[in-house]
């Protein structure tokens, strides 16, 4: 298949689901992927004791522009809190020989293919070096000690590196797994960001790092595991634009990864699509026509609706720790205020200014299909960029057909809001190269995480949906041939008591 994949867009369409043409797949539970890595550690440190959290309001946290107090240094007590909130284990269950762990983020198929590593430059009580975050054992494993390399920014404290393990997702999703690695990591990035913000720490997402250098620092075998995003935090705010290479010289012994004997099927297309994005972003320009996802002939009533900016105090930490995917939606009307909070949460993630990735982000188009929401006509809407308004594209009830498009997951038809993540993949790639695809998928995951948390805080249900008959999805919303709907997030009222 690889000889036909020249672009991220080729990858996307070649991994489409087609009705009645999905190859049957046996889920081999004898080789269930392990969501945590194990090391023969040269040094292991239990998570530092966390101090009591200051109560934070989720909506305030969402709306804080920028983050943290410049100059504030990263302290060990913040670290455990940040890690628990970002990717902590909230429940463990065993079925037969397999343990399943719930986390503060959702993950396609519950497979949790992402890992967090730390590049510690400066943190009191910690050696400079590279660490793996073992979220099950609540400990940090020193992979290797390091020292500052010449010219490194010594005022930067910590970088979190998020990676994805191919097999963990491919076990279920096969060639389509790269999509899920990216969406999953986006959910995790946003959780990490919010946790850092709650701690008052500066942070910046970096999607343009040097993959080879970061992989070498983390001792990653790129056939199996790849870096997807870096989040820099603490110290001075890092200026965007410079390609991040890790900035550490490693020396001395190295912790060895302990690998379980397990049959891992490899899918060469996953390495191939990853390799395509490695050279970094192309420096393109954004032509408004190439961003458009709709067919030119798109008709229908055009109206602008302002959704209210609503103040709804929601306990941030409670929302994070109680978040689960809920699908038991009911069709009763959702009140306008709650719908507005959800839409505001989704539309309020503004890209950081000043980098190529910010311009590439323009290609992520957010829509929503509303049904049974007080004060809104049922229909398919797009969010107008930079404003709190919706632009109705088509009047009507889309949730029944959407549930069929989403591999006949009937429960989707009962949700009040189905958020729609779309992009003109050809336009994106022409301007920014295949790295742009990585970016918009992760940014979609970030927005989706905000919707999950806001829904949880409001006592509503929410569930991400990555399973789509891709071409049917394109047809349902009259997308042009260059554009794809690649993620849906359903939200709305559920059975039982509401907040
Ligand atoms: C990218 C992504 C895609 C998902 N796709 C689906 C889906 O198509 N259908 C579904 O029922 N759940 C889907 N989920 C939800 C996961 O099944 C759920 O997060 C996982 O089982 C863990 O459960 P929890 O979220 O309740 O902790 C998806 C989640 C993510 C993050």
pLDDT number for residue 193: 94
Please indicate, yes or no, if residue 303 is contained in any of the structural domains.
yes
pLDDT number for residue 353: 64
Instruction: Based on the fold, state whether residues 148 and 206 are members of the same structural domain.
Output: yes
Does ligand 1 come within 6 angstroms of the Cβ of 367?
no
Expressed as residue numbers, the domain containing 195 is: 2-277
Question: Residue of the nearest CA to atom 7 in ligand 1?
Answer: 465
CB 132 within 8 A of CB 141: yes
Does ligand 1 come within 6 angstroms of the Cβ of 463?
yes
pLDDT band at 320 (very low <50, low <70, confident <90, very high): very high
Instruction: Based on the fold, state whether residues 218 and 101 are members of the same structural domain.
Output: yes
Please indicate, yes or no, if residue 335 is contained in any of the structural domains.
yes
pLDDT number for residue 74: 83
How far apart are the CA of 106 and the centre of ligand 1, in A?
6
Please indicate, yes or no, if residue 379 is contained in any of the structural domains.
yes
Please indicate, yes or no, if residue 283 is contained in any of the structural domains.
no
Instruction: Based on the fold, state whether residues 309 and 269 are members of the same structural domain.
Output: no
Instruction: Based on the fold, state whether residues 242 and 298 are members of the same structural domain.
Output: no
Q: Return the ligand 1 atom nearest residue 106 CA.
A: 19
Exposed / middle / buried, residue 77 (Cβ in 10 Å: 0-12, 13-18, 19+): middle
Phi, psi of 303, deg, nearest 5: -145, 155
pLDDT number for residue 46: 94
Does ligand 1 come within 6 angstroms of the Cβ of 55?
no
Terminal alpha carbon distance of the chain:
50
In whole angstroms, give the CA distance from residue 421 to residue 27: 28
Q: What is the mean pLDDT of residues 269-284?
A: 95
Instruction: List, for residues 213-241, the tens digit of each pLDDT value.
Output: 999 999 999 999 999 999 998 766 556 66
Does ligand 1 come within 6 angstroms of the Cβ of 409?
yes
Instruction: Based on the fold, state whether residues 263 and 400 are members of the same structural domain.
Output: no
Model-level pTM greater than 0.85?
yes
Reduce the DSSP state of residue 135 to 3 states and report it: coil
Please indicate, yes or no, if residue 497 is contained in any of the structural domains.
no
Instruction: Based on the fold, state whether residues 13 and 136 are members of the same structural domain.
Output: yes
Question: Residue of the nearest CA to atom 30 in ligand 1?
Answer: 108
CB 202 within 8 A of CB 70: yes
Reduce the DSSP state of residue 284 to 3 states and report it: coil
Instruction: Based on the fold, state whether residues 366 and 410 are members of the same structural domain.
Output: yes
**Which residues have CB under 8 Å from 25's CB, separation 6+?**
172, 174
CATH at 64 = 3.40.109.10
101, 187, 463: residue to mutate for ligand 1 pocket, most atoms within 8 A of CB: 463
In whole angstroms, give the CA distance from residue 348 to residue 386: 8
How far apart are the CA of 412 and the centre of ligand 1, in A?
13
Q: Of 277, 301, 319, which one is at a domain's C-terminal end?
A: 277
Question: Residue of the nearest CA to atom 9 in ligand 1?
Answer: 465
In whole angstroms, give the CA distance from residue 82 to residue 99: 24
* Cα angle value 255/259/265 (rounded, 5°): 135
Q: Given a cut of 60, is residue 300 above it in pLDDT?
A: no
Q: What is the mean pLDDT of residues 330-344?
A: 94
Instruction: Based on the fold, state whether residues 58 and 145 are members of the same structural domain.
Output: yes
Instruction: Based on the fold, state whether residues 309 and 262 are members of the same structural domain.
Output: no
Please indicate, yes or no, if residue 356 is contained in any of the structural domains.
yes
In whole angstroms, give the CA distance from residue 167 to residue 113: 8
Question: Residue of the nearest CA to atom 19 in ligand 1?
Answer: 106
What number of helices (H) and strands (E) belong to the chain? 15, 19
User: What's the structural domain count of the chain?
Assistant: 2
Instruction: Based on the fold, state whether residues 25 and 168 are members of the same structural domain.
Output: yes
The DSSP annotation for 407-453 comes to: TT-GGGGG-SEEEEEEEEHHHHHHHH-THHHHHHHHHHHHHHHHHHH
Does ligand 1 come within 6 angstroms of the Cβ of 106?
yes
- Residue 125's region, left for phi above 0, alpha for psi from -120 to 50, else beta, is left
pLDDT number for residue 139: 96
324, 465, 469, 485: residue to mutate for ligand 1 pocket, most atoms within 8 A of CB: 465
In whole angstroms, give the CA distance from residue 209 to residue 95: 40
Instruction: List, for residues 139-197, the tens digit of each pLDDT value.
Output: 999 999 998 876 666 667 899 999 999 999 999 999 999 999 999 999 999 999 999 99
Please indicate, yes or no, if residue 55 is contained in any of the structural domains.
yes
pLDDT number for residue 152: 65
Rounded-to-10 torsion of CA 16, 17, 20, 25: 110
pLDDT band at 328 (very low <50, low <70, confident <90, very high): very high
Instruction: Based on the fold, state whether residues 297 and 417 are members of the same structural domain.
Output: yes
Instruction: Based on the fold, state whether residues 311 and 266 are members of the same structural domain.
Output: no
Q: Of 229, 247, 277, which one is at a domain's C-terminal end?
A: 277
CB 436 within 8 A of CB 363: yes
CB 67 within 8 A of CB 203: yes
* Residues pairing with 279 in the sheet: none
Q: Tally Cβ neighbours within 10 Å of residue 19.
A: 12
Does ligand 1 come within 6 angstroms of the Cβ of 187?
yes
* Cα angle value 492/493/495 (rounded, 5°): 140
How far apart are the CA of 7 and the centre of ligand 1, in A?
27
Please indicate, yes or no, if residue 498 is contained in any of the structural domains.
no
Instruction: List, for residues 411-423, the tens digit of each pLDDT value.
Output: 999 999 999 999 9
Q: Of 277, 299, 320, which one is at a domain's C-terminal end?
A: 277
CB 217 within 8 A of CB 263: no
Does ligand 1 come within 6 angstroms of the Cβ of 108?
yes
pLDDT band at 280 (very low <50, low <70, confident <90, very high): very high
Phi, psi of 250, deg, nearest 5: -95, 145
How far apart are the CA of 184 and the centre of ligand 1, in A?
9
């Amino acid at each position: 298949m690889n000889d036909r994949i020249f672009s991220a867009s080729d990858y996307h369409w070649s991994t489409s689901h087609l009705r009645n043409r999905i190859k049957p797949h046996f889920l081999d539970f004898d080789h269930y992927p392990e969501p945590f890595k194990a090391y023969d550690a040269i040094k292991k440190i239990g998570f530092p004791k966390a101090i009591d959290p200051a109560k934070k309001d989720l909506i305030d946290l969402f709306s804080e522009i920028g983050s943290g107090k410049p100059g504030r240094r990263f302290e060990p007590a913040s670290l455990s809190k940040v890690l628990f909130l970002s990717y902590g284990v909230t429940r463990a269950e065993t079925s037969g020989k397999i343990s399943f762990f719930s986390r503060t983020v959702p993950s396609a198929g519950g497979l949790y293919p992402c890992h967090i590593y730390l590049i510690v430059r400066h943190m009191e009580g910690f050696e400079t070096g590279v660490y793996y975050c073992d979220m099950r054992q609540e400990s940090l494993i020193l992979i290797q000690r390091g020292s500052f390399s010449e010219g490194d920014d010594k005022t930067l404290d910590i970088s979190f590196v998020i990676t994805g393990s191919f097999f963990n997702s491919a076990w279920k999703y096969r060639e389509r797994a790269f999509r899920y690695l990216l969406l999953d990591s986006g959910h995790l990035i946003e959780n990490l960001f919010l946790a850092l913000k709650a701690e008052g720490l500066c942070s910046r997402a970096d999607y343009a790092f040097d993959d080879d250098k970061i992989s070498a620092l983390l001792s990653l075998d790129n056939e199996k595991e790849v870096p997807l995003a870096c989040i820099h935090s603490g110290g001075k705010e890092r200026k965007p634009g410079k390609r991040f290479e890790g900035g550490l010289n490693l020396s001395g012994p190295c912790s060895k990864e302990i690998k379980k004997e397990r049959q891992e099927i490899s899918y060469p297309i996953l390495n191939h699509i990853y390799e395509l994005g490695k050279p970094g972003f192309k420096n393109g320009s954004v032509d408004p026509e190439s961003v458009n996802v709709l067919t030119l002939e798109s008709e229908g009533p055009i109206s602008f609706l302002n959704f209210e900016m609503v103040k709804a105090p929601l306990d941030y930490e409670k929302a994070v720790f109680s978040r689960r995917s809920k699908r038991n939606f009911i069709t009763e009307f959702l009140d306008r205020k709650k719908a507005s909070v959800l839409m505001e949460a989704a539309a309020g993630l503004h890209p950081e200014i000043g980098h190529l990735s910010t311009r590439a982000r323009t290609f992520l188009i957010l829509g929503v299909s509303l049904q049974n929401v007080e004060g809104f006509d049922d229909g398919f809407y797009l969010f107008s960029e930079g404003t709190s308004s919706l632009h109705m594209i088509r009047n009507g009830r889309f949730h029944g057909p959407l549930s069929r498009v989403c591999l006949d997951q009937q429960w989707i038809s009962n949700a009040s809001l189905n958020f729609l993540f779309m992009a003109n993949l050809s336009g994106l790639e022409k301007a920014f190269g295949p790295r742009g695809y990585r970016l918009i998928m992760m940014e979609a995951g970030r927005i989706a995480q905000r919707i999950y948390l806001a829904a949880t805080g409001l006592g509503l249900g929410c569930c991400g949906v990555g399973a789509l008959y891709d071409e049917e999805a394109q047809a349902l919303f009259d997308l042009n041939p260059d554009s794809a709907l690649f993620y849906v997030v359903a939200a709305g009222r559920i059975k039982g008591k509401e907040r």
